[in-house]
Amino acid sequence: MSESDITLDLARAERIGLEEAIFCAHTTTAQLAAILHALAGAERRALLTRLSAARRDELPHALRMRLDYDAVSETAFFDWQEAAIEIDRVAIVTAGSSDMPVAREALRTLCYAGVGARLIADVGVAGLWRLQARLDEIRACPVCIAVAGMDAALPSVLGGLYAGALIAVPTSVGYGVARGGTTALHAILASCAPGIVAVNIDNGYGAACAALRILGS
Amino acid sequence: MSESDITLDLARAERIGLEEAIFCAHTTTAQLAAILHALAGAERRALLTRLSAARRDELPHALRMRLDYDAVSETAFFDWQEAAIEIDRVAIVTAGSSDMPVAREALRTLCYAGVGARLIADVGVAGLWRLQARLDEIRACPVCIAVAGMDAALPSVLGGLYAGALIAVPTSVGYGVARGGTTALHAILASCAPGIVAVNIDNGYGAACAALRILGS
Amino acid sequence: MSESDITLDLARAERIGLEEAIFCAHTTTAQLAAILHALAGAERRALLTRLSAARRDELPHALRMRLDYDAVSETAFFDWQEAAIEIDRVAIVTAGSSDMPVAREALRTLCYAGVGARLIADVGVAGLWRLQARLDEIRACPVCIAVAGMDAALPSVLGGLYAGALIAVPTSVGYGVARGGTTALHAILASCAPGIVAVNIDNGYGAACAALRILGS
Amino acid sequence: MSESDITLDLARAERIGLEEAIFCAHTTTAQLAAILHALAGAERRALLTRLSAARRDELPHALRMRLDYDAVSETAFFDWQEAAIEIDRVAIVTAGSSDMPVAREALRTLCYAGVGARLIADVGVAGLWRLQARLDEIRACPVCIAVAGMDAALPSVLGGLYAGALIAVPTSVGYGVARGGTTALHAILASCAPGIVAVNIDNGYGAACAALRILGS
Amino acid sequence: MSESDITLDLARAERIGLEEAIFCAHTTTAQLAAILHALAGAERRALLTRLSAARRDELPHALRMRLDYDAVSETAFFDWQEAAIEIDRVAIVTAGSSDMPVAREALRTLCYAGVGARLIADVGVAGLWRLQARLDEIRACPVCIAVAGMDAALPSVLGGLYAGALIAVPTSVGYGVARGGTTALHAILASCAPGIVAVNIDNGYGAACAALRILGS
Amino acid sequence: MSESDITLDLARAERIGLEEAIFCAHTTTAQLAAILHALAGAERRALLTRLSAARRDELPHALRMRLDYDAVSETAFFDWQEAAIEIDRVAIVTAGSSDMPVAREALRTLCYAGVGARLIADVGVAGLWRLQARLDEIRACPVCIAVAGMDAALPSVLGGLYAGALIAVPTSVGYGVARGGTTALHAILASCAPGIVAVNIDNGYGAACAALRILGS
Amino acid sequence: MSESDITLDLARAERIGLEEAIFCAHTTTAQLAAILHALAGAERRALLTRLSAARRDELPHALRMRLDYDAVSETAFFDWQEAAIEIDRVAIVTAGSSDMPVAREALRTLCYAGVGARLIADVGVAGLWRLQARLDEIRACPVCIAVAGMDAALPSVLGGLYAGALIAVPTSVGYGVARGGTTALHAILASCAPGIVAVNIDNGYGAACAALRILGS
Amino acid sequence: MSESDITLDLARAERIGLEEAIFCAHTTTAQLAAILHALAGAERRALLTRLSAARRDELPHALRMRLDYDAVSETAFFDWQEAAIEIDRVAIVTAGSSDMPVAREALRTLCYAGVGARLIADVGVAGLWRLQARLDEIRACPVCIAVAGMDAALPSVLGGLYAGALIAVPTSVGYGVARGGTTALHAILASCAPGIVAVNIDNGYGAACAALRILGS
């Protein structure tokens, strides 16, 4: 794998307002290094997703030093400059603490794009008072990302209480009939509450991109 | 099919407290008539489930006259004597009005067994206030049967609010990813609320039998 | 089924900006008539979905006269007053002419809510020039609903060309491995283009509700 | 992950008679330690499930010392005081010795709650005499939890012989078409014996919670 | 479709001891008539399976007269001569009366081949005494065909009590998680009792052919 | 539906050598008539697939008269002129007579395009001599389309005997585990014989288009 | 786990002619050692299946010395005495060399039971001559076990050429749509050749038990 | 495993123009070495697929030295002589860089057979300009192999732009609903573009064999 085998889509941000992100799960370390060199050559920053800590450690030291890495979400920012964010426009809500990696992937993607977001964790419907206590904070944002695994009842309940754009992310949390997030995904799509939309299982990055499309619109 | 081909399990009520019921969906009219004649010969009453109105109309008039039939639930009581029921011991709760046939199958099974039950319809979580308004009635019963299709978020929410025995019945209401009730079933079994149990999709009869096992215990 | 068994969620529009719609597929004609009488009593209008022409014809004449019915989408407006709509804010795009019923369900839902929408049919990617010819019209709207069955490649291609909020509706068009829309749904959710969101198979109503949440935000 | 990110549902026992348990499979060690510190701060005991021996060994020594750990079921009691239990009210029955971890998860959950239970192992229906020899012991309990994998024929046979509340737990024991417990689950739900209820695959904890709901009712 | 388009496998009986049977479900009446004419021309008898009464009535009268038809199993013998059968070598056992069509398809196939079989109906394990009462009859045969739907627990129990060759036929009886016989099939294949073999769902014909292979061996 | 809603891809034949065909299964009669009028206006011929006899009869008489219809394959040629075909370049082989509708859909598509094809029916591997007897005819063609349902063993056996391009079409023939053609499709794709390619279940049209791509190359 | 927790089914051989075998995959080493001590105490021999080499090495030395172990099939004989076997009554046929572990599990089970068997490897249908060259050897045995993964076309072809009892074992060999043996299983059950029976995926032991039932009958 | 257990199909190339390849994933190192010795004894070259680097390193040094190994595709050529290749007749196109191992398996198989191929990587439809920029190169080849995972929209778009034989290879790239390549496979087979054929998931070898069948025809 050499740099000449890489075709970066550098004009993507101009076309659709979203930069190409690097999905690292299926790339080799050699491919990844070649991509980062190409980006550096083009003087571009980048968002990396699904970058395990082990994979990051295999990168050459010089590249590794240019990454702002978050271990919980397995995301990294390459050659990124922090900028001031004023208000929270997205509420990210999770059913349980096991949903945190996915929620943080969404949070980091928004942060990379300069959009403020608020993380409200651990408000699953088995203890409904927890959600009710945080409802005003959620309603203050025009977009909400709801992250939930297992039966994913949280987005349905939220859908009856919250009027803004509601993006649900099913997670692979659970076992047995949870089926790696399929039950959560199907429960979200079959929800009796109207107007909820879904992204792929564990796709916190995609949910954040959808929020960016909405906020840019 | 003659009566000699039938093996009724007449001692079932003595063994497990539940009489054998006649599941009519896969029987021919001739088989059904033979079974009813055998019951009549043994001087036994019976509960019939999944008896469509069309199938009932094909039965000989003399047998048909001995049926107490309910068209919504497609259940019939053969040679049954109504008896007084004092208090409601089971709350049957539905998410939407489409769940009514299944809920009534449970109600009728309990009625046949002489157990009082209360039907609380149309309290799905997209409008949470509807459930909250009826919570005291539900809490007054030691057993609750929750009937819900689509995403079946109702049992999860109930499971966090109600302390009694909670039996959930997934229904085949919905389309697309609802998959004929599979999503509702899996969401119930993967629920984050503890101690919820499930029966087969659309099995109102089975949920009532489980309630009878619990109340008899 | 009497009116006393119905629990309408009349405050839904105030809570979340979307009125409760009546999903007619799993209701009996008697239930439906009872619901319409209850709405009339409360002086409310309503949107009905999945109302087949045969079912509509079974309604009492007086109720039927109060319906604005569309046979292609099987939707009806009850006691609805047409109002002027100024500009199109949603583009509804279909891959093939078989996707029309679902696209029109979305169109009618937006129309009921007073939001302008433009229907651009038959622009599937097997003949890419058809989509390219209509791209400016689509880009003029802040929200796009893409309706596609079979392999659902259209939303992926659009996702790389269009910057606004992109809601994809998989349809059950196709046979064999199309699996009633499951392949289209999964292809949409697994799309390589970022930030596409999905609703349930054939759920044109849900896509329109999501658009309303976005436009209201 | 700090303690401030945790929202414990401390009032759950008052609401539904069951304390919140800590499901450890998807939490990090840091999250788990934070949760245990929060519980200690609130002077609460807790039940931990799916806590592998390796994970337990990663906990700080001071926390580890407060755990009563069972390696077979991977459960732990935090700050728990043993109390006298008088009679057995639940019979836990297994088809094979491979079902033991799940059966013991149920046993430990009941023990934590102070309810007596009897474990009857290895009575699968391939050697029917084994079940018949233990039937009187089972019948002496008002609730029975039947744990079985593969074809899960044991609950069906029990359902025809035992009159009490019968909760079946499918297990992931088996290979090929056993499909990680799905066949056992479906066989239980499709059982010809009436009134059997099911919980999720391998969910011994959930079965015990259901027993507690029933016994409390 | 003319006779010249048909390629009968007339030498099959000589090769493998089983004549080619005509599976009628997917053939048109014209195809079927052409096949029967070809058989008549070759002076061959034949077994027809899945021949609905409606399809039979569409055949030309002259062909119809040469059929010995059984409506329950939807089988017909073409130009068949009854012969004396001395002893029963196969026991066909069913769990419920709904399994009768499949059981009779097996019985008729054996009858066509001149092998004696005994049908023992309605001995499902929910009332175990029914099976125990017939066990000596079953044990008198070297081959047993067990026909069961839903959870198919009957073959597992039989497998622990009967020493002969045991062929199980899952049936599509049941609803919901019974999944058209898939659960019965998987439960049979995952059975804890050793040496049970299975054929396709509802394939009474195939089970009988397997018995013929065994008895001929 | 008016003609103005239709976007025909009239340049497709120039781009890829294949004209757009009209897939009629999901269109209404009104849509179909509008499409045919549009074609007539553009002076184009067309191939129609999945046109049931009932649907054809609903078309206006003037349009119906311009169709060359084949009832077995449910295909029609609109405004088509027969032309001389010299030699057979494609062998179409079927496992059983039930596969004929799909095989004829392929045959008709090739005929429409002016390519000669030979249909060799009823050569399934249960009677291997039937295939061996026709092998020379098959080998005389550079492309072979193998049509088979159920276990689809025919393409695997052919794949070891025939050197040309081998396109397999799984059919939905069969029941139970045949699963509407899924087993046939998967068996083809998992074949131990190298270089077999597949199209969608029952897609005789697609197989013929693939043959046209190959022969044109 | 102590010996007192074990319930061996020592009378199984008397009931059904097959001794209880020890399936080791889901047992702990402690459980396994306890079982072997119980067998030793009862002076019984035993067959162990799915005993990995690693697991065997964990057993106490004294127990390990009493095992006759085969690494390819992961089977062991405990306290077994070799006896003379005269003729081969079972032919075990494999499609490819990857099917060997399963084929040898069947071979070893028959060997343990004192029944002669012949292993004919690597005769898949992609090179049909390989099977034809060995057909006489196979036909010399009254029972044939056919072991095949991927598309499992071998049993179908054999079913048309061999008249004896034919037991097919699908294997998990393959990738992608082979789906861990599910495609092979379904192809076998949907075979166009009559009278083939199947056991669970990779279940060489079960196939051998079925052969023993047949040969004993 | 000794050489005497191996049945090589050495005449395959003469029969069907394709040599038998060695699929190494399910073989043991001992089996593999025996096969290579047998090939060496027969003075044959061979192609090995799915040979991991770890497995290769376990082979005896003398055998290892005779392998031309490619780590990305995990393929090896045994006793292969490089020959001049003149022009590219196959275009291999990938959607993303993660599809490279599968694309290279196809490339290497063609190289082994002496057929020229051109690899065009990273032209997925999210950035459509990348494909358009390379279209002339693709159109210059009579056969195109399109390699894509996730939603596999690339083959559909190509199918509308490219007139030659188009073989699509779904890959297991992706997560969640990508389902190990099943969604890509189904999207390809359900494509709205006509005449696309598919091989098994990740089966670059099979796609190349299909290309060889086509080019040889």
- Say if D163 is an interface residue toward chain E (CB within 8 Å): no
Top pLDDT among B96 and A84 is at: B96
| Token pair in block for residue F10 | 């009239």
CB atoms under 10 Å from CB of A83, counted, come to: 7
Q: Is there a contact between A171 and B104 (Cβ–Cβ < 8 Å)?
A: no
- Say if G97 is an interface residue toward chain H (CB within 8 Å): yes
pLDDT at B9: 86
Q: Is there a contact between D206 and B194 (Cβ–Cβ < 8 Å)?
A: yes
- Per-residue pLDDT tens for G71-121? 999 999 999 998 888 799 999 999 998 999 999 999 999 999 999 999 999
**pLDDT mean over A28-57:** 94
Q: Taking CB atoms and an 8 Å limit, are A196 and C205 in contact across chains?
A: no
**Across all residues in chain H, what is the average pLDDT?**
94
- The β-bridge partners of A32 are none
pLDDT at C1: 41
Most confidently predicted of E77-86, F118-127, H99-108: H99-108
Q: Is there a contact between B184 and D174 (Cβ–Cβ < 8 Å)?
A: no
pLDDT at G154: 97
Q: How confident is the model at residue F1 (pLDDT cuts 50, 70, 90)?
A: very low
**pLDDT mean over B79-100:** 92
Residues of B in contact with A179 (CB under 8 A): 186
**pLDDT mean over F116-128:** 93
**pLDDT mean over G156-165:** 96
pLDDT at E1: 41
Distance from chain centroid for Cα E25: 15
Give Cα separations from A169 to A99, A160, B192, E87, F131 (angstroms). Answer: 10, 17, 17, 65, 53
The span from the CA of A102 to the CA of H173, in Å, is 19
- The β-bridge partners of D78 are D46, D67
Specify the pTM.
0.96
Left, alpha or beta for H159 (phi > 0: left; psi -120 to 50: alpha)?
alpha
The span from the CA of D115 to the CA of B42, in Å, is 43
Report helix, strand or coil for D153: helix
Q: Is there a contact between E139 and E164 (Cβ–Cβ < 8 Å)?
A: yes
Q: In the predicted model, is pLDDT for residue E99 greater than 50?
A: yes
Q: How confident is the model at residue F133 (pLDDT cuts 50, 70, 90)?
A: very high
The span from the CA of A120 to the CA of A135, in Å, is 10
pLDDT at B1: 41
pLDDT at G1: 41
- Per-residue pLDDT tens for A82-111? 888 879 999 999 999 899 999 999 999 999
Q: Which amino acid is at H100?
A: M
Q: Is there a contact between A198 and C168 (Cβ–Cβ < 8 Å)?
A: no
Residues 6+ apart with CB under 8 A from E147: E92, E93, E94, E95, E99, E102, E103, E106, E168, E169, E171, E204, E207
Residues of H in contact with F189 (CB under 8 A): 185, 198-200, 203
Q: Is there a contact between B191 and B155 (Cβ–Cβ < 8 Å)?
A: yes
Q: In the predicted model, is pLDDT for residue B104 greater than 50?
A: yes
Q: In the predicted model, is pLDDT for residue E10 greater than 90?
A: no
Distance from chain centroid for Cα B139: 20
| Token pair in block for residue C58 | 């079974």
| Token pair in block for residue B174 | 């919905």
Q: What sign results for the dihedral spanned by CA atoms A11, A14, A16, A18?
A: positive
DSSP E strand stretches across chain F: 22-23, 46-49, 67-70, 75-78, 88-94, 116-120, 143-148, 165-170, 196-198
Q: Is there a contact between E145 and G197 (Cβ–Cβ < 8 Å)?
A: no
Residues of E in contact with D177 (CB under 8 A): 185-186, 189-190
Top pLDDT among E10 and H118 is at: H118
Phi, psi of H75 (to 5 degrees): -115, 155
> How close, in Å, is residue D132 to chain A by CA atoms?
31
The span from the CA of C170 to the CA of C150, in Å, is 8
- Per-residue tens of pLDDT for chain C, all 217 residues: 444 567 888 889 999 999 989 999 988 899 999 999 999 999 999 999 999 999 999 999 999 999 999 999 999 999 999 888 879 999 999 999 899 999 999 999 999 999 999 999 999 999 899 999 999 999 999 999 999 999 999 999 999 999 999 999 999 999 999 999 999 999 999 998 999 999 999 999 999 999 999 999 6
Q: Which residues of B150-162 are buried (b: 16+ CB within 10 A; e: fewer)?
A: bbbbbbbbbbbbb
> How close, in Å, is residue C72 to chain F by CA atoms?
9
pLDDT at H181: 97
Q: Taking CB atoms and an 8 Å limit, are A7 and H122 in contact across chains?
A: yes
| Token pair in block for residue H109 | 């198989």
The span from the CA of D160 to the CA of E95, in Å, is 14
Its ipTM equals 0.95
The span from the CA of A207 to the CA of A147, in Å, is 10
Q: In the predicted model, is pLDDT for residue E210 greater than 70?
A: yes
| Token pair in block for residue A64 | 């590794």
Q: Is there a contact between G9 and G39 (Cβ–Cβ < 8 Å)?
A: no
Disruptive mutation site among C9, C12, C16, C109 for chain A (greatest number of A CBs within 10 Å): C16
Give Cα separations from F133 to D9, E10, F104, F124 (angstroms). Answer: 75, 15, 22, 12
DSSP A22-54: EE-TTS-HHHHHHHHHHHHHTT--EEEES--HH
pLDDT at B217: 59
pLDDT at H50: 97
Q: In chain E, pLDDT over 90 holds for what percent of residues?
A: 87
Give Cα separations from E214 to E86, E109, F199, G92, G166 (angstroms). Answer: 18, 15, 39, 16, 8
Q: In chain B, pLDDT over 70 holds for what percent of residues?
A: 97
Residues 6+ apart with CB under 8 A from B23: B49, B50, E98
Q: Is there a contact between H144 and H131 (Cβ–Cβ < 8 Å)?
A: no
Q: In chain G, pLDDT over 90 holds for what percent of residues?
A: 87
- Per-residue pLDDT tens for H97-151? 899 999 999 999 999 999 999 999 999 999 899 999 999 999 999 999 999 999 9
**pLDDT mean over H209-215:** 97
Distance from chain centroid for Cα E207: 6
Q: Radius of gyration over alpha carbons of chain G, in Å?
A: 18
Q: What sign results for the dihedral spanned by CA atoms G179, G185, G188, G190?
A: negative
Q: Which residue has the tokens 């016989």?
A: E181
**Alpha helices by DSSP H, chain B:** 12-16, 29-41, 53-58, 61-64, 100-112, 128-133, 135-139, 153-159, 182-189, 204-216
Question: How many CB pairs lie under 8 A apart between chains A and C?
Answer: 107
Chain H residue at shortest CA distance from G134: H7
DSSP chain C: --GGG----TTHHHHHS-PPPEE-TTS-HHHHHHHHHHHHHTT--EEEES--HHHHHHS-HHHHTTEEEETTTTEEEES-------SEEEEEEESSGGGHHHHHHHHHHHHHTT-EEEEE----GGGHHHHHHTHHHHHTSSEEEEEE-TT-HHHHHHHTT--SEEEEEE-----GGGGGGHHHHHHHHT-SSTTEEE-STT-HHHHHHHHHHHHH-
DSSP H28-59: -HHHHHHHHHHHHHTT--EEEES--HHHHHHS
In 3D, which of H49, H60, H2, H57 has the Cα closest to residue H24? H49
- Per-residue pLDDT tens for G188-216? 999 989 999 999 999 999 999 999 999 99
- Say if E124 is an interface residue toward chain D (CB within 8 Å): yes
> How close, in Å, is residue B12 to chain E by CA atoms?
7
Residues of D in contact with A173 (CB under 8 A): 26
Contact present, D and G (at least 3 Cβ pairs less than 8 Å):
yes
pLDDT at A184: 97
Q: In the predicted model, is pLDDT for residue H166 greater than 70?
A: yes
Chain G residue at shortest CA distance from D150: G200
- Per-residue pLDDT tens for B108-127? 999 999 999 999 999 999 98
Chain E residue at shortest CA distance from D193: E126
Residues of B in contact with E173 (CB under 8 A): 26
Find the range with the poorest average confidence among A13-17, E209-213, F84-88, F97-101. F84-88
- The β-bridge partners of H146 are H93, H168
Most confidently predicted of B193-197, C126-130, D3-7, G127-131: B193-197
